[in-house]
Amino acid sequence: MSYNLLKGKRGIITGALNESSIAWFVAERAVEEGAEIVLTNAPISLRMGKINELAEKLNTIVIPADATSTDDIENLYTKASEHFGGEKIDFILHSIGMSPNVRKGREYNDLNYDFFQKSIDISALSFHKMMQVADKMDVLNEGASIVGLSYIAAQRAYPDYGDMSQAKAVLESIARSFGQKLGEKKGVRVNTISQSPTVTTAGQGITGFDVFVDFADMLSPLGNASALECADYVITLFSDLTRKVTMQNLFHDGGFSTAGISHAMVDRLSK
């Protein structure tokens, strides 16, 4: 159902790789809610994924950008502004995560430090870079909204989430620090959403991911939040209904983060 929550707004959506990507759902929902968007992803992901199909469906363009490169980000904003007829940007979704250590199954006590730096660069510093370049190029509208996607491993230890735990902690911290800066300067909101485990390409790269998903679902009174439900929440943050929400890490997890144990788990463990 559409409420026209983003009518007249323009935004950039990163990270739509295929139809299970959280960003894919956000892109579809943003357009349904009346926004004009441009899509972007790393050049290599454009070749592997299905983003062009999504662009065709949503009648928009894809601008390749490696989010670790400030040159690529500058080019992204220049081309997006051209596409928007010189108008500024009202929202940005940062939906980017990758850890070479996790991908190669490195144990936490056997991490490769070059990989570690790549994980932080791709999954966290890219959030800073996207905001810093946007600020310097002055492409954001007053009251714009920027959202990054996080995971509760920023606060709690998960054995196979590896260095992504640190990347997410940095991501959430950047949201606070940049939220303060951009809030004072332009009334811009910056938040992260800490999402339930969700079956996507990035998610499935984690050892034992299916167990994460089942465990979280069993513990959460409302069950796990789906990618579409996450997209709905992102839309509210892009909309004018949340103009005073900023510098927050917002849990979107069916209650998981504050649940102790559930009846479902007691039943399962008493068997």
| Span of 99-107, 194-202, 239-247, 254-262 interacting with ligand NAI by CB under 6 A | 194-202
77 is catalytic: no
Dist CA 243 CA 39 (whole Å): 24
Residue whose CB is less far from ligand NAI, 8 or 133: 133
Asked if 22 interacts with ligand NAI (CB under 6 A), we say yes
Residue whose CB is less far from ligand NAI, 67 or 188: 67
Q: Give every CB contact of residue 105 below 8 A, 6+ residues apart in sequence.
A: 207
Q: Find the binding residues for ligand NAI in span 124-183 (CB under 6 A).
A: 149-151
Closest CA to 238 of 129, 174, 143, 126: 143
Residue whose CB is less far from ligand NAI, 89 or 130: 130
Residue whose CB is less far from ligand NAI, 95 or 101: 95
108 is catalytic: no
Closest CA to 22 of 131, 147, 149: 149
Asked if 30 interacts with ligand NAI (CB under 6 A), we say no
Cα 81 from chain centroid?
A: 22
Tokens of 254: 């069916």
Q: Which of 77, 108, 151, 233 is catalytic?
A: 151
Smallest gap from Cβ 84 to ligand NAI, in A, equals 20
Smallest gap from Cβ 121 to ligand NAI, in A, equals 8
**What would the x/- binding string for ligand NAI be over residues 92 to 131, using CB under 6 A?**
---xxxx-----------------------x---------
Smallest gap from Cβ 153 to ligand NAI, in A, equals 9
Q: Which of 3, 158, 161, 233 is catalytic?
A: 161
Asked if 203 interacts with ligand NAI (CB under 6 A), we say yes
Size of the site for ligand NAI (CB under 6 A): 27
- Helix 164-186 with 126-137: angle, nearest 10 deg: 20
Residue whose CB is less far from ligand NAI, 42 or 266: 42
Q: Which residues bind ligand NAI (CB under 6 A)?
A: 14-15, 17, 21-23, 41-42, 45, 66-68, 95-98, 122, 149-151, 195, 197-198, 200-203
Point out the residues that are catalytic. 151, 161
